[in-house]
Amino acid sequence: MLAAFAAPLGVVALLSVQESSELFAPLSFTPSAAQYAEILGDRFYLRTFLNTLLLGAVVTAVSVVLAYPMALWLTRLPPAWKPLGFACVLVPLLTNVVVRSLGIILLLGRGGILTRITEGLGLGRVDLLFGWFAVGLALTQVFLPFMVLALYDVLEAQEKRLTEAASGLGAGPVVTFWRVTFPLSLAGLRAGMTVVFLLASTAYVSATLVGGRKVLVSGMVVLREGLEILNYPLAAAMAMLMLGASVAVTLGLAFVIGRSMPWLSGRGQGEAWVPPRALVLILEALGPWLSRLLLALALFLLLFPLLLVAVASVNNSPQASVAQFLGFTWRWYVAVWENPRYLSDAWVSVQLALCCVAISLAIALPASFALGRGTFRGREWLGAALMLPLALPGIAIGLGMLRLLQWFTALPPFLGLLAVHVVLVAPFMLALLRASVQQLDRALEEAAGGLGASPARVFARVILPQLGPGIGVACVIGFLLSFGEVTVTAFLTTARMQTLPVRIYAEATFSLENTVNAISTGIILLTMLLLWAVNRLMPLDRVWRR
Amino acid sequence: MFTRRNALLAAPAFFASNAIAQIRRGDELTVGVWGGAQERILREFVSGPLEAQHGVRINYVLGGTTERRARAYAERGRPSFDLLYLNIFESRQAVRDGVTQAANTNVPNAQHLYPVARLGGFGVAFNPVTIVYDRRMVAQPMTSWRDFWRDDLRGKVIWPTYPGAQGTAALLMAAKVFGGDENNIDPGFAAIARLRPFPAIQASQDQLFGMFDQQVGAASVEFGSFTRSYAEARNPNIVIADPVEGQAVATNVACITVGTRAQALAEAFVNLHLSPACQRAYAERIYYSPTVNNVEFPPALAAKLVLGPEAVGKLVDFDWDVVIRNQPRWSSRFTREIAG
């Protein structure tokens, strides 16, 4: 696992300190800062880099605001409805990125929904498409699910009696949220913010598709310099700078949120600020409505792609489009069904994702206990180091792997792909599980131990049931990430082994057909079934709390 | 031992004429190509017959040109691809960089190739880049590359991003009509900058078609073939222009890698790709024009293709060595002066 990530990272680091940008120049082992100097000395690159970080920060902030109402809504759903609720959250992760960005175009375009609303209200035309707003919206849509799921588990684990006690003491919903629910969810918030920031600041596909190339982000610089122009050293230096910024942000978040949870280390809490009474009353009156509005907004943002995909999958148009409906047809489903290659590639993807989740869980679960409960020095540094694969843009990992292809192709194809997928997926599962582990009630374990239960029994009968939802959520996310991975896999796919997303991507690079949407719709339905089955085996909430 | 012997056999086959290498049962060929319709046509007209005839196995690695090319460069001399498909300028550069082989005389059907399709490997399809526009949004038809600078198109041009086949053609044609060329690109950049602000910049045909659906802009530069399929299927208002200065040449090229262990099989593959049946299928299904001169078409289809020496000769070709050498600089200029 370490080698699978450390090797490409090492290559990227080595490439970034090359002095010469010549394609076939021999690798030099004398480090040179030439590439870094070029980026940092160029105001254009510097501005791109800072803009990207700002974009990541804004997307993270908006996701937080939208995710709280959504996650709270999920915890309050009746158990039977939970799988459906989860499916809603996961829709954007299950739809093709091209189709999703088509949705943004439909939403924001000149004849789009938003424009019609503002014109109807007499506000005139707003053209928000192809700019930073559209990119931010597209990124929020894809990464919101990570934030919601990170918050869901910690919110679900909260003692319901605490909120009852708060309201019994006269606190309204807003004050209860601010003084009880929010502080107790900080562990999940940290996981969510870290993951969303890292993903948003390294993403480039959405920026390419809905930014109309007016928006330039660091990932696009890596892609263009590295793959189109074949200037590996400059691309590698940019990737290393992104990595450095991500590590700084991860540590910064850990520090700030750690300071906001003084009760964990037993330190006392300072005097809380008491807002004026009038302000509280206003907020209490507005709060519930605002929360509902945000929930509706979040649900719309998440579900809109589903609508588009479902409509497009029965659209009788040779190119994938939802802007015009040319008649109803089942032919895309028939095409998928009749082509054995889709099914065999899908089977490869499923096997890969299952193995990947199993191995990632075996790594992430012990690691999350070590990080969540350990008190050793350098814990935060280790935590940040384990998040590194998320901080390095996928395209840079691909770049590093290119240099290692000769060794890589000597491995059996399945094992090679598996190793890379584990590297990409394990950090996510670790981030989510770490928050869950921090929420565990240690008093229960101590009580069980005091009653004579062996450590193994304590783990199986006390810890595992409490962690159930957290593990379930982490596994679902891990599975979907591996199942959908295309950026790095596209470099590593061989003639003998191909995954479904790589096939779809390869077809899309030629011309996007509606079979993509038929497959997406099928996958969404399958996910619902899968969630339903998971919920039967491993409930997504804590059964004994009902 | 087996592989080493194979390599020894392949080496003379590459340097001298191909007298030693032969196709044997059980040989495998790895082909890097685009997915979708192209994969379907190749399986039907090329790999199916080859597998049936010789008892060989053809494997496809599907993907976009960018990854394929980056991989072939990383594996220079020890390729995992035996044959890969590239665009016109990438293929010529790959030959110069020692990644892929130039065209040779071991492919019988290659004798019918037009000269321009014999550079950088075996050109298998012409897919020229031209002006495409929405007839509802322009005052009069577009007939020249200069028409992008007309008053009725102000603020309505969706420019293609650079680098890329469309963006490269657009930049070079802009330079050409304003008195420059590939060695004097400034007039091109200056002219494009005058078109700003753009309603959008497009990075792919699918994206452009989405923009046309939404009437984001009036005109752009795109492959005529795909745009024709789009126009016929869902937007009859889109016109594929035939500008007086000519359409910009773009070619799909089959490139046999340097160091392949299946030289003879790769050549047989290319030979079938250049066969009339396969070339006709490309034209009928995705409007790719043949690179060989021995295929006949019904008039209705012929009108939509680039056929015959005169039409092929009218395609605008460039000095791709210069273009490739300047790509990093132009790319950086484009990002700073045009997009961004």
Query: Is pLDDT larger for residue A388 or for residue B191?
Result: B191
Residue A43: its pLDDT value, please?
Answer: 83
HSE value, Cβ hemisphere, 13 Å, CA-based, for A461:
14
Please tell me which residue of chain B has the smallest CA distance to A487.
B67
Residue A81: its pLDDT value, please?
Answer: 83
Residue B111: its pLDDT value, please?
Answer: 94
What number is the ipTM of this complex?
0.72
| Minimum distance, in Å, between the CA of residue B238 and any CA atom of chain A | 15
Judged against a pLDDT cut of 50, whether residue B3 lies above it is answered with no
Residue B19: its pLDDT value, please?
Answer: 41
Q: Kindly state the percentage of chain B with pLDDT values over 90.
A: 63
Residue B18: its pLDDT value, please?
Answer: 45
**Mean pLDDT score across all residues of chain A:** 80
Residue A275: its pLDDT value, please?
Answer: 72
Q: Quick one: which of B89, B40, B15 has its CA closest to A506?
A: B40
Strand-pair category, B238-240 with B129-134: antiparallel
Report the pLDDT averaged over residues A277-304. Answer: 84
Spans of all domains in chain B? 2-126+250-306, 129-248+317-338
Q: Kindly state the percentage of chain A with pLDDT values over 90.
A: 7
Helix axes A97-108, A277-313, angle to 10 degrees: 120
| Closest partner CB to A490 (pick from B63, B74, B234) | B63
Q: How confident is the model at residue A265 (pLDDT cuts 50, 70, 90)?
A: low
A491 vs B215: CB contact, 8 Å cut-off? Answer: no
Q: How confident is the model at residue B12 (pLDDT cuts 50, 70, 90)?
A: very low
Give the tokens for residue A89.
Answer: 């959250």
Judged against a pLDDT cut of 90, whether residue A38 lies above it is answered with no
Could you give the CA distance from residue A309 to residue A355 in angstroms, rounded to a whole number? 29
Q: CB of B273 within 8 A of CB of B145?
A: no
Neighbours of B1 (CB within 10 A): 5
Which A residues in the span 208-227 are in contact with B, Cβ-Cβ below 8 Å? 208-209, 212-214, 216, 224, 226-227
**Mean pLDDT score across all residues of chain B:** 88
B203 vs A213: CB contact, 8 Å cut-off? Answer: yes
Judged against a pLDDT cut of 90, whether residue A176 lies above it is answered with no
Report the pLDDT averaged over residues A429-451. Answer: 83
| Minimum distance, in Å, between the CA of residue A338 and any CA atom of chain B | 13
Report the pLDDT averaged over residues B226-248. Answer: 92
Please tell me which residue of chain B has the smallest CA distance to A516.
B36
Spell out the SS3 assignment of chain B: CHHHHHHHHHHHHHHCCCCCCCCCCCCEEEEEECCCHHHHHHHHHHHHHHHHHHCCEEEEEECCHHHHHHHHHHCCCCCCCCEEEEEHHHHHHHHHCCCECCCCCCCHHHHHECHHHHCCCEEEEECCEEEEEEHHHCCCCCCCHHHHHCHHHCCCEEEECCCCHHHHHHHHHHHHHCCCECCECHHHHHHHHHCCCCCCEECCHHHHHHHHHCCCCCEEEEEHHHHHHHHHHHCCCEEECCCCCCCECCEEEEEEECCCCCHHHHHHHHHHHCCHHHHHHHHHHHCCECCECCCCCCHHHHCCCCCHHHHHHHCECCCHHHHHHHHHHHHHHHHHHHCC
With residue A508 as reference, give the H or E element that holds it: helix A500-510
Q: Note the CATH architecture for domain B2-126+250-306.
A: 3-Layer(aba) Sandwich (3.40)
Superfamily of domain B129-248+317-338: Periplasmic binding protein-like II (3.40.190.10)
Neighbours of A494 (CB within 10 A): 16
Establish, for the pair of chains A and B, how many residue pairs have beta carbons separated by less than 8 Å: 159
Q: How confident is the model at residue B17 (pLDDT cuts 50, 70, 90)?
A: very low
Residue A323: its pLDDT value, please?
Answer: 62
Write the pLDDT tens digit of every residue in A133-159: 888 988 998 889 889 988 887 888 777
Write the pLDDT tens digit of every residue in A394-415: 778 877 877 777 677 777 778 8
Q: How confident is the model at residue B15 (pLDDT cuts 50, 70, 90)?
A: very low
Residue B7: its pLDDT value, please?
Answer: 43
Please tell me which residue of chain B has the smallest CA distance to A326.
B234
Please tell me which residue of chain B has the smallest CA distance to A399.
B70
Residues in chain B closer than 8 A to A406 (CB atoms): 75, 78
User: What are the backbone angles phi and psi of residue B138, rounded to the nearest 5°?
Assistant: -120, 155
> Among the listed ranges A82-86, A320-324, A356-360, B248-252, which one has the minimum average pLDDT value?
A320-324
A494 vs B70: CB contact, 8 Å cut-off? Answer: no
Judged against a pLDDT cut of 90, whether residue B151 lies above it is answered with yes
Test the B interface: residue of A220, A344, A510 with most B CBs within 10 Å: A510
Write the pLDDT tens digit of every residue in A77-89: 887 788 888 888 8
Residue A494 three-state SS = strand
Report the pLDDT averaged over residues B192-211. Answer: 86
Query: Is pLDDT larger for residue B300 or for residue A530?
Result: B300
Please tell me which residue of chain A has the smallest CA distance to B90.
A228
Q: Note the CATH architecture for domain A2-262+282-545.
A: Orthogonal Bundle (1.10)
Residue B13: its pLDDT value, please?
Answer: 41
B216 vs A110: CB contact, 8 Å cut-off? Answer: yes
- For chain B, say whether A144 makes contact (Cβ under 8 Å): no
Query: Is pLDDT larger for residue A316 or for residue B27?
Result: B27
Test the A interface: residue of B47, B206, B334 with most A CBs within 10 Å: B206
B78 vs A513: CB contact, 8 Å cut-off? Answer: no
Residue A256: its pLDDT value, please?
Answer: 85
Which residues share a beta bridge with B32? B61, B84
Residue B179: its pLDDT value, please?
Answer: 93
- For chain B, say whether A319 makes contact (Cβ under 8 Å): yes
A227 vs B233: CB contact, 8 Å cut-off? Answer: no
A227 vs B229: CB contact, 8 Å cut-off? Answer: no
A112 vs B214: CB contact, 8 Å cut-off? Answer: yes
Q: Longest C-alpha distance within chain A, in Å?
A: 73
- For chain B, say whether A43 makes contact (Cβ under 8 Å): no
> Among the listed ranges A334-343, A385-394, B154-163, which one has the minimum average pLDDT value?
A385-394
B213 vs A324: CB contact, 8 Å cut-off? Answer: yes
| Minimum distance, in Å, between the CA of residue B157 and any CA atom of chain A | 13
Residue A271: its pLDDT value, please?
Answer: 60
Residues in chain A closer than 8 A to B37 (CB atoms): 510-511
Q: Kindly state the percentage of chain A with pLDDT values over 70.
A: 89
Query: Is pLDDT larger for residue A378 or for residue B11?
Result: A378
Give the tokens for residue B73.
Answer: 């460069």
Write the pLDDT tens digit of every residue in A487-505: 788 777 776 678 888 887 7
Judged against a pLDDT cut of 70, whether residue A53 lies above it is answered with yes
Which residues share a beta bridge with B201? B159
Please tell me which residue of chain B has the smallest CA distance to A488.
B67
Residues in chain A closer than 8 A to B226 (CB atoms): 511
Could you give the CA distance from residue A24 to residue A27 in angstroms, rounded to a whole number? 9
Write the pLDDT tens digit of every residue in A345-366: 888 999 999 999 999 999 888 8
Could you give the CA distance from residue B279 to residue B236 in angstroms, rounded to a whole number? 26
Residue B267: its pLDDT value, please?
Answer: 95
A494 vs B80: CB contact, 8 Å cut-off? Answer: yes
| Closest partner CB to A405 (pick from B74, B210, B213) | B74
Judged against a pLDDT cut of 90, whether residue B223 lies above it is answered with yes
- Which pTM was predicted? 0.81
Write the pLDDT tens digit of every residue in A471-487: 888 888 888 888 888 77
Write the pLDDT tens digit of every residue in A219-258: 888 888 877 777 888 888 888 888 888 888 888 888 888 7
Judged against a pLDDT cut of 70, whether residue A126 lies above it is answered with no
Q: Map tokens 């078109």 to a residue.
A: B195
A213 vs B331: CB contact, 8 Å cut-off? Answer: no
With residue A160 as reference, give the H or E element that holds it: helix A160-168
Residue A328 three-state SS = strand
